Amino acid sequence: MTRIVNVGAAQMGPIAADDNRATVVERLIALLRDGAAAGCDLVVFPELALTTFFPRWWTEDVSGHDQYFERSMPNDDVQPLFDEARRLEVGFCLGYAELTPDGHRYNTYVLVDAAGSIVGKYRKVHIPGHAGHEPHRPFQHLERRYFEESPDGFGVVGAFGGVIGMAICNDRRWPETYRVLGLQGAELILIGYNTPLHYAPDPNQNPLQSFHNNLVMASGAYQNGAWVVGVAKGGIEEGVESLSHSQIIAPSGQVVAQATVSGDVLISARCDLDLCRHYKETLFNFEVYRRPEAYRLITEQKGVVRPPGV
Ligand code: CDT
């Protein structure tokens, strides 16, 4: 029996600061319907898909952006998306800002099956940017002010006939993300992102954003024998231009579908999960070839420590 998952990457264009949830949910539903029309089993939305990317703005009070957070999922605003998914029998993966009942703020993804039930939840592990106001920047990247680092790490869920992992934006730049998921057998890794083209700490990187985007996701796919789905919220949002270039990458590292425009658009691919075995059971047969005893520093040490005398 083949294990094909038809996956849609539902790229989004900008969301304005004052767009209400109903307007955004209508856009998500339109993309979900495009996915259903394309025969998708699963439609993947970007990071923070319900709101503008609010960490670009400083507020004195850390709760100053709480209007952009969801206190429950689903909630009344988002329920129409869950209802439509159940009606269409299409699952989805949705990124949003989560405010827990005990006051924690996370950058979160949920995986919803074709029956409209949440079957997986992931909170962003690698929180980029800064926590204090840096007025010299043309815009802020205050994720480290508004989000906590996930205490949960990376997990996988059995869904859509395969083993699914999730990661969010900056996570995709870290090889540890894919390897920890790969070590749990991940066959399909879903990644939403908001990546401003301007990187204030080193603008030399600005023209390389698209290259780096593909570089890290294709490497993660190949080195772990997994499909990777990278989905952007791109375009010029509140004056800040972000990368589009959503893509679906095979376990070979090859891009099999890529968005050629910015804005709301669905791309899709027929992901044969059994293709993963070609890599997981040969070159990247972890059981045979990995040498965890040689990698101890990866978990024992955080920053760079040069050996004495070096
Ligand atoms: N959303 C997110 O994680 N964006 C970062 C921007 C670079 S760090 C300021 C990213 O890794 O794409």
Q: 33: which 2 tokens?
A: 């319907």
CATH number, position 87: 3.60.110.10
Report the pLDDT averaged over residues 62-91: 98
Report the pLDDT averaged over residues 176-199: 99
Give the Å distance between the CA of 17 and the centre of ligand 1.
Answer: 19
Give the Å distance between the CA of 130 and the centre of ligand 1.
Answer: 11
**306 is a domain residue:** no
Number of domains in the chain: 1
Active site residue 169: yes
Asked if 212 contacts 205 with a C-beta cutoff of 8 angstroms, the reply is yes
Question: pLDDT class for 2, splitting at 50, 70, 90?
Answer: confident
* Confidence (pLDDT) at 291: 98
Any ligand 1 atom below 6 A from CB of 195: yes
Catalytic position from the list 40, 70, 143, 169: 169
- Residue 213 Cα: closest atom of ligand 1: 12
> 81 pLDDT exceeds 90?
yes
**222 is a domain residue:** yes
Report the pLDDT averaged over residues 69-82: 98
**95 is a domain residue:** yes
**Atom 1 of ligand 1 has which residue's CA nearest to it?**
194
- Residue 172 Cα: closest atom of ligand 1: 11
71 DSSP 8-state letter: S
| DSSP code string of 162-186 | EEEEEEEGGGGG-HHHHHHHHTTT-
**48 is a domain residue:** yes
**Atom 12 of ligand 1 has which residue's CA nearest to it?**
195
Catalytic position from the list 124, 233, 237, 271: 124
**173 is a domain residue:** yes
Q: Residue 101 and residue 88: Cα distance in Å, rounded?
A: 31
Q: 90: which 2 tokens?
A: 């299409």
Report the pLDDT averaged over residues 192-201: 98
Active site residue 47: yes
Report the pLDDT averaged over residues 107-133: 98
Rg (CA), the chain: 19
Active site residue 40: no
Q: Is cis: bond before 46, omega within 30 of 0? A: no
**216 is a domain residue:** yes
> 295 pLDDT exceeds 80?
yes
**148 is a domain residue:** yes
Report the pLDDT averaged over residues 118-138: 98
Report the pLDDT averaged over residues 116-123: 98
Q: Residue 8 and residue 27: Cα distance in Å, rounded?
A: 15
**305 is a domain residue:** no
Q: Are strands 69-70 and 118-123 parallel, antiparallel or unpaired?
A: unpaired
Report the pLDDT averaged over residues 67-91: 98
Per-residue CA distances from 58 to 14, 171, 188, 200 (Å): 19, 23, 35, 16
User: Considering the chain, what is the average pLDDT of its residues?
Assistant: 98
> 1 pLDDT exceeds 90?
no
Any ligand 1 atom below 6 A from CB of 154: no
Q: Residue 310 and residue 51: Cα distance in Å, rounded?
A: 48
Give the Å distance between the CA of 185 and the centre of ligand 1.
Answer: 26
**Atom 6 of ligand 1 has which residue's CA nearest to it?**
195
Residue 166: which domain range? 4-300
- Give the tens place of pLDDT for each residue, 203-255: 999 999 999 999 999 999 999 999 999 999 999 999 999 999 999 999 999 99
Q: Where are the alpha helices (DSSP H) in 74-147?
A: 79-88, 143-146
> 282 pLDDT exceeds 80?
yes
